[in-house]
């Protein structure tokens, strides 16, 4: 289970990376059920960035893969089905990866607002590595 403290550490690492590179982003961490644990929006980040960072995090946590990859899993069979059914968004945009602890997906981190989706992806990878999680997706 991903704790609030762990989620906040990952977010802090992503925000530090964004600041160092001059990005203004939103960062979200959610659990495998598709619900946010923690979220922060930097001063100056565009108003729409929270929506996309959450959607990316939900997608990567729920499917256990980077947000831009296509999954063969069927949504109704996943723990995130209820969250999506009650309005949590999904996104196939680059910029989110699963958070893996001891070989198990425990959540996902999503970033939105960097100058490009590739730079969103760099933020999440840096954050995950900085706090010691793995980002290796589970096999489908």
Q: Name all domains of the chain by residue range, CATH numbers in brackets.
A: 4-131 (3.30.450.150)
Q: How far is Cα 68 from Cα 82, in angstroms, rounded to an integer?
A: 21
Q: What is the pLDDT of residues 85-137, one digit of tens each?
A: 888 899 989 999 999 988 899 999 999 999 999 999 999 999 999 998 887 64
Give me the chain's average pLDDT, please: 91
2: its two tokens: 């991903």
Q: What percent of the chain has pLDDT over 70?
A: 96
**pTM of the entire predicted model:** 0.91
Specify the pairing of strand 26-30 against strand 96-101: unpaired
Counting beta carbons within 10 angstroms of the beta carbon of residue 23, is it exposed (0 to 12), middle (13 to 18) or buried (19 or more)? buried
Task: Give the 3-state secondary structure percentages of the chain, helix then strand then coil, rounded to 5.
Answer: 40, 20, 40
């Amino acid at each position: 289970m991903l704790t609030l403290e762990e989620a906040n550490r990952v977010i802090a690492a992503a925000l530090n990376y964004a600041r160092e590179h001059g990005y203004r982003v939103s960062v979200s961490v959610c659990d495998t059920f598709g619900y946010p644990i923690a979220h922060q929006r930097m001063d100056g980040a565009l108003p729409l960035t929270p929506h996309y960072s959450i959607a990316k995090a939900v997608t990567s946590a729920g499917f256990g893969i980077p947000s831009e990859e296509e999954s063969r899993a069927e949504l109704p069979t996943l723990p995130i089905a209820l969250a999506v059914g009650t309005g949590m968004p999904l996104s196939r945009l680059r910029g989110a990866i699963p958070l893996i602890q001891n070989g198990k997906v425990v959540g996902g981190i999503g970033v939105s607002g960097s100058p490009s989706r590739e730079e969103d992806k760099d933020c999440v990878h840096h954050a995950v590595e900085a706090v010691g999680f793995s980002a290796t997706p589970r096999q489908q």
